[in-house]
Amino acid sequence: MRLHISTFVVALLVLTAGCTFNPSEPTADQWDRTPDHSLTEKSIPETPDNLTHKNVVAFAKQVEEAYKWNRELTNQTIELSVGVVEEELVNTTDAGYIVRLELEAKKTYIEDGNRLASDDFYTTYYFINDSSIYRIRSDGNESVPDPRNGEHIRE
């Protein structure tokens, strides 16, 4: 009998090794469900006066981060982050530049009184020149889509 109790205690200790209970950690019912109204829209930056192959990628990143931020932001948003994880200058022509961006957007929000979270990983292409900005989200095909067939962000 003593062997069974000792075996049970040892098994219990092994199974709970590394587990701790921290009463200061919030439970699911204690998580903040209040939208953060200090989150505000971001303005699309102005095109640099001297657009070059050296600054066009950084500019495209700023435009997409503001664009996606504004698309995801609602009056029910608790937390929001948008970040570029990969970037590439795909093509340079006399007409302008084509930039590829891979992004991740994370959002925590309230829906029907519940706290929900979403992650969005996607690829988007930009066509940028001194006078226009076009954007197209990739549909996953291997070929580079022409962003001028997408959304016109600014003229």
Residues 53-73: pLDDT tens digits? 899 999 999 999 999 999 999
* pLDDT > 70 fraction of the chain, expressed in percent and rounded: 76
Nearest in space to 123 (alpha carbons), one of 95, 155, 92, 150: 150
**Do 83 and 103 touch, CB atoms closer than 8 A?**
yes
Q: What is the DSSP string of 28-43?
A: GGGS-----TT----P
Contact 133, 63 (CB under 8 A): yes
Mean pLDDT of 3-29: 50
Task: Kindly report, residue by residue over 107-150, the tens digit of the pLDDT.
Answer: 999 999 899 999 999 999 999 999 999 999 997 777 888 899 99
Query: How many Cβ atoms from other residues are within 10 Å of residue 15's Cβ?
Result: 9
Query: Domain-by-domain residue ranges, the chain?
Result: 2-154
For 7, the token pair is 């075996």
Cβ atoms of residues 110 and 76 within 8 Å:
yes
Strands 151-154 and 133-137: antiparallel
Give strand pairing partners of 107: 80, 118
